[in-house]
Amino acid sequence: MLNVTIWNENQHEKKDERVRELYPEGIHGAIASFVQKEDYNIKTATLDEAEHGLTREVLENTDVLLWWGHIAHDQVEDEIVQRVTQRVLDGMGLIVLHSGHFSKVFKKLMGTSCDLKWREADEKERIWVVDLSHPIAEGLGEYIELEREEMYGEHFDIPTPDELVFVSWFEGGEVFRSGCTFKRGNGKIFYFRPGHETYPTYHNKDVQKVIQNAVKWAAPVDRKRPVYGNAKPLEVISAT
Amino acid sequence: MLNVTIWNENQHEKKDERVRELYPEGIHGAIASFVQKEDYNIKTATLDEAEHGLTREVLENTDVLLWWGHIAHDQVEDEIVQRVTQRVLDGMGLIVLHSGHFSKVFKKLMGTSCDLKWREADEKERIWVVDLSHPIAEGLGEYIELEREEMYGEHFDIPTPDELVFVSWFEGGEVFRSGCTFKRGNGKIFYFRPGHETYPTYHNKDVQKVIQNAVKWAAPVDRKRPVYGNAKPLEVISAT
Amino acid sequence: MLNVTIWNENQHEKKDERVRELYPEGIHGAIASFVQKEDYNIKTATLDEAEHGLTREVLENTDVLLWWGHIAHDQVEDEIVQRVTQRVLDGMGLIVLHSGHFSKVFKKLMGTSCDLKWREADEKERIWVVDLSHPIAEGLGEYIELEREEMYGEHFDIPTPDELVFVSWFEGGEVFRSGCTFKRGNGKIFYFRPGHETYPTYHNKDVQKVIQNAVKWAAPVDRKRPVYGNAKPLEVISAT
Amino acid sequence: MLNVTIWNENQHEKKDERVRELYPEGIHGAIASFVQKEDYNIKTATLDEAEHGLTREVLENTDVLLWWGHIAHDQVEDEIVQRVTQRVLDGMGLIVLHSGHFSKVFKKLMGTSCDLKWREADEKERIWVVDLSHPIAEGLGEYIELEREEMYGEHFDIPTPDELVFVSWFEGGEVFRSGCTFKRGNGKIFYFRPGHETYPTYHNKDVQKVIQNAVKWAAPVDRKRPVYGNAKPLEVISAT
């Protein structure tokens, strides 16, 4: 049983009719519906809940956390940010979606500004697979095409990704490293670019496939955590 | 002219006769003496100075910063940490030495705990070159041997390094990724393991060579910084 | 059903009583016995068979190939080498064991000499996990200890691995990048260092665990292969 | 003094008036003219010369080799290919330009097919800098724009690059990893995409800047080569 928690700030949904129409159960609800599998235990959590729905208990029982945020990054309490990033270092998988690039959680784990170029202009995005054998690309063709998306353009101010899975082409002339993996502590992180709230991106089958694959990929491995601090020698040291 | 600032907490030197004997001008003074070159402008800065010697003016005029800290990481003001990490993202090179792995500056830029195993047991360290063509390894043989050093052992809780230059062997049975590069924003970072305060490590010619090479490697490249934020399209978008 | 083929030159077994005693079914037989799982279809193949047991049919029906060779690398026909490397590029996983570092197959896929230092001196090897969340390290403690193994020491002349999973410590003073992943074409490659024929290494439970994990990790993903060559534009080009 | 050899198959120049007009001294001559610096010793070499102009003596006295080839890859003798790749492993820098992706030299060093999509359609290419602090990007703006170039599109069948410096956007809808570094043995390799023979690409100042930077970056470091083979222990081994 894999415990998956889908976090969404759930703010656009309250304010914007278009978003509600696209995602009547919220972006978190839409994601929950296609991530769902028999041996998965899916929860959702949102900003307005107590502790943003991310209590110690919830996080301790989360194997993979998905994160969607945009206009309310500042309202996420620093204590919760600390709790989430610590859980990632302890082994929880983290999937950061679209505008989550600017979340406190992602920026803290990356150590960089995570800034980028952006534009809302109803333009075409074509997401090319550049890592053929990556499990996150399983089942995809050569590219994913989205008729209309927000543009995110380079330079994307992240550390060098451990793996670069996708690169986007935008109609307006930009490119973007759209699918990036990072390891931090005992946890795996995947950043996936598309998913603007006013487009039906999360209804796209290929986008769904990527997120399904990513959840599986980000699941923790079963290992004891390393021991840090003062260590007795394992061999005889001649000076002592 | 390359502006190099060597920062040292300079606390052991005040308290421990052995350290003063090894490094009568302080660890910063020892490093300054061998980093010095004709076209370098070398400064030192220490914890006890106002703003730890790292005023805005000093940092704006620093191309490469070296960092040695150990027992006083907590005394480094968060505002100065913020200032230093921002300068790295803006392009300043950073060389983190030995126990600087636990400095606020390094941990903030890495996003991980930067924890490790350690032991003070007068044991031998042999630092193997694993990246043959890296400019930081220029002039070295197959390994650097240090008769007595503090041990740092894996697991070292850092993000995957962009480049792994050195791997250490320790007499007591451990290994360590001893020379690691990272890019963050516009800046380059090099972590170099050896340099415990009670050993003459910074008098070792090979260790000096590595640090000299690293200063040269970490120097900023001459480029305009990228533009972030809302971007006009470079091409015509059909929908608009 | 995952089709796994275990290739062994099977030469030491014919000449050396010690090896026969350790591995009465051959090294390939020993590996087959612990890789076996319900949903795996395991085959073995050896040098002396027609086409070294690696006919087109066998390879086309292999998802993951394991390779053990040592004294007979030169006897492997170039045509078979070409066939195996092509299958890796087409998506077959490849696990190269110990002295397989000098096989024609591995050298061709790496493009480097794959040379290293070595010594047979009954010495201790301690294989440290440096990539905490890698699926190949699942179930392991902080390190694997082998009382007696052949030494392989740096410099190991391979391309920078995509991922560095293990680093070995040797009693005689060397270190080695002992667990390395590489992606080539559609295929995944894992090199794993230990496994000298005169030691009971493949009876070690942790070594077995690594190889079991690696088989699972190296399994091909289900994707159509990319299309290469002349390509029609996906968008209107203004000049035409 | 850095010894730079520029190799060009020099075949289009003999057959195609357009190419001769663009590059009256040949592509090699054009490159030589802008790579030239006071402390550089520049040579050119072409396919039709004895040993393709790459005698043992020439290669032994080459620090950095540039390679442009396209329609005559097959005519390059295997012995010369072996000689060139061996020199790279021994430390010579190699810069592979445009259609050189399919040269025997590059394919042998990569171990993959190096295949890609392509199209000649007079389309626009925009080469984005994704690695801000890389010395090969020094002096560049956010991107290089080429009004007309041949298209190369993903998937590009290369090993994961050690560093990804540039990503191209093409008018026709594709992206490409256009600037990639690889380390092989003691040598550094840089692949740079643009440079089709019927366009004035090598007269573009930014393209020239990249190649100038790459020559500097690829220069060998001054180190003794590692020792391989049987190695005496550096420490006492308890069993012996």
Q: Give domain status of residue C80, yes or no.
A: yes
- For residue B136, what pLDDT is reported? 98
Contacts of D210 in chain B (CB under 8 A): none
B106, C168, C223 from B168: Cα distances, Å: 20, 10, 41
A118: CB partners within 8 A, 6+ apart: A150, A151, A152, A153, B229, B230, B231
CA A168 to chain D, closest CA, distance in angstroms equals 7
C132 shares contact with chain B (CB less than 8 Å): yes
Contacts of D169 in chain A (CB under 8 A): 169-170, 173-175
Which neighbouring-strand residues pair with A66? Answer: A6, A95
Using DSSP's 3-state secondary structure scheme, residue B30 falls into helix
Alpha carbon A43 to its chain centroid, in Å, reads 16
- Residue B15 token pair: 């308290």
**Of the candidates B42, B44, B60, the residue with the CA atom closest to the CA atom of residue B4:** B42
- Residue A240 confidence (pLDDT) above 70: no
Closest CA to A157 of A181, A184, A176, A136: A176
pLDDT, tens digit, 9 for 90 and up, residues A53-100: 999 999 999 999 999 999 999 999 999 999 999 999 999 999 999 999
CB atoms within 10 A of CB B232: 9
Q: What percent of chain C has pLDDT over 70?
A: 100
Distance of alpha carbon C94 from alpha carbon A157, whole angstroms: 35
Among candidates A8, A18, A5, A114, which has minimal Cα distance to A65? A5
C-alpha distances (whole Å) from C22 to each of C170, C200, C206 are 23, 6, 17
Is the pLDDT score of C130 beyond 80? yes
- Does residue C240 have a pLDDT over 90? no
User: Looking at residues B137-147, what average pLDDT do you find?
Assistant: 98
Dihedral, C126, C132, C133, C135 alpha carbons, nearest 10? 0
β pairing state of C93-97 and C64-68: parallel
D164 touching chain A per CB within 8 A? yes
Task: Decide if D161 touches C, using CB distance below 8 A.
Answer: no
CB-based contact A111:B94 (threshold 8 Å): no
State the DSSP H helix or E strand holding residue A139, giving kind and residue range, or none if neither. none
A16 found inside a domain: yes
CA distance B219 to B224: 15
Q: Please report which helix (H) or strand (E) contains residue B12, including its range.
A: helix B12-15
Report whether B197 contacts A86 (CB < 8 A): no
> In this complex, do B164 and C168 lie within 8 Å of one another by their Cβ atoms?
no
Amino acid residing at D210: V
- Please report, for the domain that includes residue C29, its CATH number: 3.40.50.880
CA B53 to chain centre: 17
String of DSSP letters for C19-40:
HHHH-TTHHHHHHHHHH--TTE
Return the number of other C-beta atoms located less than 10 Å from residue B239's C-beta. Answer: 10
- Say which residue the tokens 């995509």 belong to: C162
**C41 within a domain of the structure (yes/no):** yes
Which segments of A23-92 does DSSP mark as H helices, in order? 26-35, 56-60, 78-90
Nearest one of C209, C130, D178 to B130, comparing CA atoms: C130
Taking the C-alpha atoms of residue B164 and residue B146, their distance in angstroms, rounded to an integer, is 20
- pLDDT tens digits, one per residue of B179-236: 999 999 999 999 999 999 999 999 999 999 999 999 999 999 999 999 999 999 999 9
Q: How many CB atoms lie within 10 A of CB D11?
A: 18
Q: Which of residues 35-94 of D touch C (CB under 8 A)?
A: 85, 89
User: What Å distances lie between residue A77 and A13, A51, A96, CA to CA?
Assistant: 21, 8, 18
CA nearest A134 in D: which residue? D160
pLDDT at B239: 80
Out of C117, C173, C228, name the one closest to residue D115 (CB). C228
The two counts, helices (H) then strands (E), for chain A are 7, 10
Domain containing A55 equals: 2-112+178-218
My answer on whether omega of the bond before A155 falls inside 30° of 0, hence cis, is: yes
- Burial class, A208, CB count within 10 angstroms (exposed 0-12 / middle 13-18 / buried 19+): middle
Query: Residue B109 gets which letter from DSSP?
Result: H
CB D240 within 8 A of CB D23: no
Reported pTM: 0.98
Q: Are C110 and D111 in contact (CB under 8 A)?
A: yes
How far does chain B reach from its first CA to its final CA, in angstroms?
Answer: 50
Give the C-alpha distances (Å, rounded to integers) separating A175 from A124, A130, D36: 12, 13, 33
Residue of B132, B167, B173 lying closest to C167 (CB–CB): B167
Q: Which two tokens stand for residue D18?
A: 């357009």
3-state helix, strand, coil in chain A (%, to 5): 30, 30, 35
Q: Do C177 and B169 touch (CB under 8 A)?
A: no
With tokens 């066939």, the residue in question is C83
| Measured distance CA(C177)–CA(C175) in Å, rounded | 7
Residues of C in contact with D240 (CB under 8 A): 121-123
What are the residue ranges of helices labelled H in C90-137?
104-110
> Cβ of D221 under 8 Å from any chain B Cβ?
yes
Question: D58: helix, coil or strand?
Answer: helix
Strands B2-8, C64-68: pairing kind: unpaired
The verdict on a CB contact (< 8 Å) between A228 and B116 is yes
List, as one string, the DSSP characters of D34-72.
HH--TTEEEEEEETTSGGGG--HHHHHT-SEEEEE-SS-
Per the CB < 8 A criterion, the answer to whether D190 and D96 are in contact is yes
Tell me if chain A has a CB within 8 Å of the CB of D117: no
Segment B2-11, tens digit of pLDDT: 999 999 999 9
Cβ of A187 within 8 Å of Cβ of C133? The answer is yes
All chains having 3 or more CB pairs closer than 8 angstroms to chain D = A, B, C
Inform me whether the pLDDT recorded for B42 exceeds 90: yes
The fraction of chain B above a pLDDT of 70, given in percent, is 100
How far is it, in rounded angstroms, from Cα A205 to Cα D112? 31
- pLDDT at site B240: 67
* Alpha carbon D196 to its chain's center: 14
Q: Would D121 be classed as within a structural domain?
A: no
The answer to whether C179 and C190 are in contact (CB under 8 A) is: yes
Coil, strand or helix at A109? helix
Tokens, residue B122: 């007068």
D224, B141 in Cβ contact below 8 A? yes
Q: Could you give the CA distance from residue B188 to residue B180 in angstroms, rounded to a whole number?
A: 11
- Length, in residues, of chain B: 240
Q: What Rg, from alpha-carbon coordinates, does chain A have?
A: 19
C175/B175 Cβ within 8 A: yes
Instruction: Report CB contact under 8 Å: C121, D148.
Output: no
* Pick among B117, B123, B130, B166 to test the C interface (most C CBs inside 10 A): B130
Q: Which of D49, D53, D173, D159 is nearest to D123 (CA)?
A: D173
Structural domain contains residue B122: no
Check if the beta carbon of residue D159 is closer than 8 Å to that of residue D111: yes
Task: Give the 3-state secondary structure of residue D200.
Answer: coil
Q: Chain centroid to CA A10: how far? A: 16
C198 contacts D221 by C-beta, under 8 angstroms: no
- Does D168 reside within a domain? no
Sequence-separated (6 or more) residues with CB below 8 Å from residue C76: C9, C47, C52, C69, C103, C104, C105
Q: Rounded to whole angstroms, how far apart are CA atoms D29 and A98?
A: 47
Answer yes or no: is A101 within a domain: yes
- Please tell me which residue of chain A has the smallest CA distance to B107: A111
Count of Cβ atoms closer than 10 Å to residue B200 Cβ: 14
**Which tens digits make up the pLDDT trace of A92-122?**
999 999 999 999 999 999 999 999 999 999 9
Q: Is B162 on the interface with D (CB under 8 A)?
A: yes
Q: How many residues does chain A have?
A: 240
Look at residue B19 in the predicted model and tell me its pLDDT: 97
Picking from C155, C168, C170, the nearest residue to B132 by CB comes out as C155
d(CA D11, CA D69): 9
Euclidean distance between CA atoms B230 and B234, whole angstroms: 12
Please check whether residue B107 lies inside any domain of the structure. yes
The structural domain count of chain C equals 1
Tokens of residue B228, six digits: 């972030």
Helix (H) or strand (E) holding C79: helix C78-89
Which carries the bigger pLDDT value, residue B93 or residue A239? Answer: B93
pLDDT in tens, chain D (240 residues): 999 999 999 999 999 999 999 999 999 999 999 999 999 999 999 999 999 999 999 999 999 999 999 999 999 999 999 999 999 999 999 999 999 999 999 999 999 999 999 999 999 999 999 999 999 999 999 999 999 999 999 999 999 999 999 999 999 999 999 999 999 999 999 999 999 999 999 999 999 999 999 999 999 999 999 999 999 999 999 886
Residue range C21-63, pLDDT digits in tens: 999 999 999 999 999 999 999 999 999 999 999 999 999 999 9
Distance, in Å, from the CA atom of C5 to the CA atom of C87, rounded to the nearest integer, reads 13
Q: Are strands A117-129 and A143-153 parallel, antiparallel or unpaired?
A: antiparallel
